[in-house]
Amino acid sequence: MNDGRTASATRSAAQDEEVTRLVQAAAAGDHQAWDSLVSRYVALLWSIAFRHGLNESDAADVVQTTWLRLFEHINDVRQPARVGSWLATTAQRESLRLVAHRQRVVLSDDEAAFDGPDRLQAPLDEGLLAREQAAAARAALDELPPTWRALVELLTQDPPMTYEKICADLGVPIGSIGPTRGRCVRRLRAIVAP
């Protein structure tokens, strides 16, 4: 049992070193390092944006703004090995900012205007809703063509897989991943839409 923990710790340390090296290289202007960081974390950023109920256009804005923030502040990242957490936190804040911007409250004398649920608060039956949503998502995923389903599963791995690894696993060109992901998202939304 100790060997499993040691191997996991060794793997984690190696991943931390690799991420630190990528962040430092990206800060120095290495385009391949930037591409590797994007490949590693882009699926995470999209999932955070979609988790806030944003549409595809708004989610794309959140993802793009998050990468812009990293570009602007890459030299300020105190723990380069934790850049994934930094990106996730930034995407969370950008998503909340966008939701708040879209949901600005307009004061009114009409009391009924304030009777709706607060979208920023967790629902009362969050556990039940989460299980229902997970079941609906799995059912929708099962309706996708096998290659699309495999792509979605690989894109949502934690930690995220690189596009190069996904291409190798699926045997598809790297340029097809983005457009196929977009088609998958649209199809999944159509399946689960009421």
3-state secondary structure the chain: CHHHHHHHHHHHHHHHHHHHHHHHHHHCCCHHHHHHHHHHHHHHHHHHHHHCCCCHHHHHHHHHHHHHHHHHHHHHCCCHHHHHHHHHHHHHHHHHHHHHHHCCCCCCCCHHHHCCCCCCCCCCCHHHHHHHHHHHHHHHHHCCCHHHHHHHHHHCCCCCCCHHHHHHHHCCCHHHHHHHHHHHHHHHHHHHCC
Of 105, 140, 156, which residue is a domain's last?
105
| pLDDT value of residue 123 | 55
For the whole prediction, is pTM greater than 0.75? no
Domain membership flag for residue 147:
yes
| pLDDT value of residue 120 | 65
The C-alpha atoms of residue 91 and residue 85 are separated, in whole angstroms, by 10
Q: For residues 124 and 82, is the Cβ–Cβ distance under 8 A?
A: no
Same domain, 75 and 130: no
Could you tell me the CATH number of the domain that includes residue 45?
A: 1.10.1740.10
Render pLDDT for 57-98 as a digit per residue (tens, 0 to 9). 899 999 999 999 999 989 888 898 899 899 999 999 999 988
Domain membership flag for residue 5:
no
Same domain, 162 and 98: no
Could you tell me the CATH number of the domain that includes residue 132?
A: 1.10.10.10
Same domain, 88 and 131: no
Same domain, 98 and 130: no
Same domain, 100 and 179: no
Q: Which amino acid is residue 181, in one-letter code? A: R
Question: How distant is the alpha carbon of residue 179 from its chain centre?
Answer: 17
Domain membership flag for residue 3:
no
- pLDDT range class, residue 48, cuts 50, 70, 90: very high
Domain membership flag for residue 140:
yes
Total number of domains in the chain: 2
Domain membership flag for residue 36:
yes
| Of the candidate ranges 104-108, 131-135, 144-148, the one whose mean pLDDT is the lowest | 104-108
Residue 122 has pLDDT above 80, yes or no: no
Domain membership flag for residue 63:
yes
Same domain, 97 and 47: yes
Collect all residues with Cβ–Cβ distance below 8 Å to 193 and sequence separation of at least 6. Answer: none
Domain membership flag for residue 52:
yes
Domain membership flag for residue 169:
yes
| pLDDT value of residue 24 | 92
Same domain, 129 and 191: yes
Percent residues over pLDDT 90 in the chain: 30
Render pLDDT for 149-169 as a digit per residue (tens, 0 to 9). 888 888 888 888 888 988 888
The C-alpha atoms of residue 186 and residue 57 are separated, in whole angstroms, by 12
Same domain, 96 and 157: no
| pLDDT value of residue 65 | 93
Average pLDDT over the chain, rounded to whole?
A: 83
Residue 112 has pLDDT above 60, yes or no: no
Q: Which domain holds residue 40?
A: 14-105
- Return phi, psi of residue 123, to 5°: -60, 155
Same domain, 153 and 87: no
Collect all residues with Cβ–Cβ distance below 8 Å to 156 and sequence separation of at least 6. Answer: 43, 47
